[in-house]
Structure 1
Amino acid sequence: MSDPRYQIDVSVVTRYLKEQSDPDSQRFAFAYTITVQNNGSVAARLISRHWLITNGDGEVEEVRGAGVVGQQPLLAPGQSHTYSSGSVIATRVGTMQGSYQMLAEDGSQFDAPIAPFRLAVPGALH
């Protein structure tokens, strides 16, 4: 939705979790911290999420669920919500992307896109 009243911006910081990974078993664990910022003029609740997690072999896992880490935060204009979660993939490099499904206080439903971001073991990319 291009209506400026419904402007949700998403930023992501990722981290490789060496202590939870086992490269010999093709298990690579990553944490990500996401900040969801309401830059629109209408309060909106994050009601669900949709992720596409792609590993370095091109295999895609689709994840859908209510809220984020058990919460459905209501974001007033100018407000943000930050949370951390994680993902495990079978390769040293992968990507995640998706969207949050939002419900505005005025009853409008819209998607907040999450641009692709990289999951990578340090040194895996040159």
Structure 2
Amino acid sequence: MYRALTQSIEVCAEPSYLPAQSDPDAAHFVWAYRITITNQSQETVQLISRYWHITDELGRVQEVRGEGVVGEQPVLNPGDSYTYTSGCPLPTPSGIMSGRYTMRGPQGFLFEIDIPAFSLDLPGAPVQIN
């Protein structure tokens, strides 16, 4: 599991390869990732938007921006956690993802929290430095 802590908001990421949805002969590799966001602060916060920076093993970059996550903009009270699962297809058997969430804090101010960089590698394959 990968972790990042920004302004008392912890983000944990756990990727897993999905062989049933992948087709290596067609250069189609799919991973799921489970994200858990835990509000360790004393303030209520809301996740407003996301930004992902995805790099495949050939160095090609894809950027993804959007409102919320999986169609939601969760509110986290102090001590609350929110978990969701999403996916990422790549044309190569390895890559890396990183990003950030924009959060709304008290009185409506916006701030960013880090999503930890995590590696997407086939099980049993040598780890690539992307």
Q: Secondary structure at the match of 1:24?
A: helix
Structure 2: how far apart are the matches of 1:103 and 1:75?
10
Is the Cα contact below 8 Å between 1:96 and 1:117 reproduced in 2?
A: yes
Structure 1: how far apart are the matches of 2:107 and 2:77?
12
TM-score by length of 2: 0.90
The CA deviation at 1:115 is 1.5
In structure 1, the partner of 2:18 is 17
Name structure 2 gaps, 5 residues minimum. Answer: 1-5
The CA deviation at 1:106 is 2.4
Matches within 5 A, 1:56-71: 56-71=57-72
Percentage identity across paired residues of the two chains: 46
Runs of 4+ aligned residues of structure 1 deviating over 4 Å after TM superposition are none
Q: Which one-letter code corresponds to 2:118 in the other structure?
A: F
Name structure 1 gaps, 5 residues minimum. Answer: none
Is the Cα contact below 8 Å between 1:28 and 1:88 reproduced in 2?
A: yes
Is the Cα contact below 8 Å between 2:11 and 2:115 reproduced in 1?
A: yes
In structure 2, the partner of 1:118 is 119
Q: Secondary structure at the match of 1:78?
A: coil
Is the Cα contact below 8 Å between 1:42 and 1:106 reproduced in 2?
A: no
RMSD over aligned CA atoms reads 1.2
In structure 1, the partner of 2:102 is 101
